[in-house]
Chain A
């Protein structure tokens, strides 16, 4: 008998949703969902034969059964407490298995800030304008699936000229007590001249069952707006994440993404695509990934220079322990129009675990002639000379390792705009490092 392993979930999805997709007012969304579902059906789940999924085998994840609807589960206060960032004063937003919890949100009645479940934003002008406008142009089948099926997620709009006085801290909690496959859809719009900071923590409640989270976020940073955006991946072994983050930037805007992953979640695939859609745009993508045990973390980024006079700066660092695997794939497109582009990319890897692995691939596609592009990539291990030097001054081996890993991550952590988050991340790196 020849069956693809992934058949079970694929079949289950088609059986459940064929002719039975979520529907809502206004009905313009229904057609988008139908088309997306058709795209998903024809593509199916990706296999390692696809270049973008070469090292990322989703078959074990999609070869099993899931519930598709989250049931209200008991959220422990302790889970939220544990996800709080020490010393950070922020507007808090909580999503439990993707469902917005109004009762736990403190981002209410803030002038110029709208935060609501995405399902309540369907009638908004900017929803009609931006929803599925960019993410669905990619060939990621998980985006198509998400577009077709999502019934939850978050909508944020920061109004024109609004500069938020505090960051927004979004806590995504996996709580489910049965195997669950979620489709979470977010849309964040930064209006012209708006400035904000969005920090997203991904956590798992103790005792949660196996969960696979397909999170698609679309972000629009309008003219002259500025957004600082953090991902703190703190999930535990039961949690698996497929995230697709699609950012569209307008003229004179700034978008900084800080992507941090720590030991815990078994499987993480992040797609982060930044489209520099007009001139004088600036984008920074930073990443720190610290993995342990059998973890698999894959960061695929695209920096897409569409117009002239833009600058992008990307620096990702991976530190792999035990038998874990990290993947970095950084695509930079410089389109024909994008003269005077300045694009920088750097990826450094430190393999601590002798059996850990790193796959890294820069991909530059340049169609303009007057551009400055540079990229580099290194793979190394612990510097034993440095380790001995530190120990010979009385510093314990554990502390010496912490110092050296901090030093390795420094190029990235030192760029964090928020020093409280930076201190938190450095602390998590320290905590996630194994001694010996």
Chain B
């Protein structure tokens, strides 16, 4: 589904991703871990199309289509969804109006008519239930006054509403209490299917007990330096990153 080859990206002339390769197939869940500042969020942002990140080399294909050529909105319409590490508050834009606009623009892109108001509201209700997100959305502005946890949950709610092909969750678990974490994970598990895929960025093995990944990757210094199965996450939890840093830095020195 997603294939990233030799991806290099920089911000303000500072190289951050330095030759990243990743293959994600439909139905898979990939976890990405790695020390602070290693480039995890950068990867998410580059995939979603944030303009301040410049891709200097490499390619990204989504089902064979060159993603890097597309505007952020077209990537979303092609099925890329980034759950933000820091969701933005937008006073004056209502949650509902925002979701309706997004959903209908995606539908239009796919040649579908706008969703009927009643169907839309039913879908909102159904998906809110799925992620047990009972914040009153109707008269509230997008993320405005939401607690950190509510914002994260709102991201997953949006994910459920928009039903993307490829979802990238950037530290969705941070800031969630234990119950919320379980609920979010349950939601994600219900959304998993053989047709979609997830990239889960996290610092904590705990999330991966709930959302069990097919692969775990370690991102360090702009590249994926280790890949393995869920046991790798356990090993990291136990030993920290130093042993990886050391070996990688040693390899680099050779």
Contacts and interface: CB of A to CB of B under 8 A. Distances in A.
B92 A392 contact: no
B93 A388 contact: no
B150 interface: no
Contacts of A397: 71, 73
Given A391-B73, A392-B76, A399 B105 contact: yes
A386 interface: yes
B82 interface: yes
Contact of B101 (A392, A399, A408, A410): A399
A83 interface: no
A410 B72 contact: no
A392 B109 contact: no
Interface in A296-340: none
Nearest to B86: A385
Contacts of A393: 76, 81, 98, 102, 158, 162
A394 B90 contact: no
B90 A392 contact: no
A412 to B, nearest CB: 11
A5 interface: no
Interface stretch (B13-21, B27-35, B47-55): B47-55
B143 to A, nearest CB: 9
B215 interface: no
Contact of B98 (A383, A403, A408, A411): A403
Contact of B73 (A383, A394, A408, A410): A394
A388 B72 CA distance: 8
B165 interface: no
Contact of A410 (B76, B92, B102): B92
Given A393-B158, A399-B105, A386 B73 contact: no
Contacts of A90: none
Contacts of A403: 90, 93, 97-98, 101
B76 A391 contact: yes
A75 interface: no
A395 B102 contact: yes
A407 interface: yes
A399 B71 CA distance: 14
B204 interface: no
Given A395-B102, A397-B71, A408 B76 contact: no
Give the interface centre of A385, A392, A399, A408 by most chain B CB atoms within 10 Å: A392
A407 B71 contact: no
Interface in B72-101: 72-73, 75-77, 81-82, 84, 87-88, 90-93, 97-98, 101
A287 to B, nearest CB: 17
A394 to B, nearest CB: 4
B77 A407 contact: no
B9 to A, nearest CB: 16
B11 to A, nearest CB: 14
Given A393-B76, A395-B105, A404 B71 contact: no
B93 A391 contact: no
Given A393-B158, A394-B73, A396-B73, A386 B106 contact: no
Interface residues of A, number: 22
Nearest to B103: A394
A390 B82 CA distance: 11
B76 A394 contact: yes
A367 interface: no
Interface string A382-422: 01011011111111110110011011101100000000000
B48 A404 contact: no
B76 to A, nearest CB: 4
Nearest to A393: B102
B105 A407 contact: no
A389 B91 contact: no
Given A392-B72, A399-B105, A408 B82 contact: no
Contacts of B72: 388, 391-392
A167 B161 CA distance: 42
A394 B100 CA distance: 11
B73 A395 contact: yes
Nearest to A400: B73
Contact of B93 (A385, A392, A404): A404
Contact of A389 (B51, B71, B84, B141): B84
B106 A394 contact: yes
B106 A392 contact: no
A407 B91 contact: yes
13 contacts: A389-B87, A389-B90, A392-B75, A392-B76, A392-B81, A395-B101, A395-B102, A399-B101, A400-B73, A403-B97, A407-B90, A407-B92, A410-B92
Q: Which 3 A-B pairs have the closest CB atoms?
A: A407-B92, A394-B76, A410-B92
